[in-house]
Structure 1
């Protein structure tokens, strides 16, 4: 059973089951969903720390990915409103290449959070994602909050 946009879906296998609108108490206003954020970092302690900071700021962390393949799949499956991306993802394609691959499928705001702020990396990031914000590790909660709020489209206009 899962909650899906104010509908409860129950199924014993994928693609089947019943859909019932969720009931709200009389006079209860519909809730706006918290912005959904995908975190991509191969260092899981860093990712969990970012997740904790975002949850404290009332953002919904829809997933954590540690490599290019899982990041692209998560970006498609979870349709986040924002991606926090590390540049160095260990072996395999790095965060800049990962963003290129995600952008081939869908456009989504990106904030790079990286310890690699040399000019070569900054140039690669700007070429791949000109609108992306770039934050240096370690990032403070205040700086993260300000960057996330700037990166997200305004609700209601």
Structure 2
């Protein structure tokens, strides 16, 4: 038996009427509805599993593609590959500039290599480059140059 129910619910600016159709049937129909919902949930979980597997496969392929670049062939750790790519991006930007680059400009360039890069990690990479002598502090605070 189908029943049409009208009710109002409070909302911002007053009351709002909602129309809803309620399906009141026997207990067996309710259990078949539960089975249908459970089957749909199982299907969604299966698709999530498949998509997760696909994402992991694509991640491995991306890592292999990045490792095929010159300069990162012998790197085995994923974090190291990302770090090397970011460091290369920073050094390349500084080499191509005639004037000092700000930390914000360098961070933006580093983010193009890894969109998930955190600012603290970026600063660690920049400090590593400074210790290696690949970048130098410019006269102004927060600006860097290539030596």
Same fold (TM over 0.5): no
TM-score scaled by structure 1?
Answer: 0.20
TM-score scaled by structure 2?
Answer: 0.21
Instruction: Identify the structure with the greater helix proportion.
Output: 2
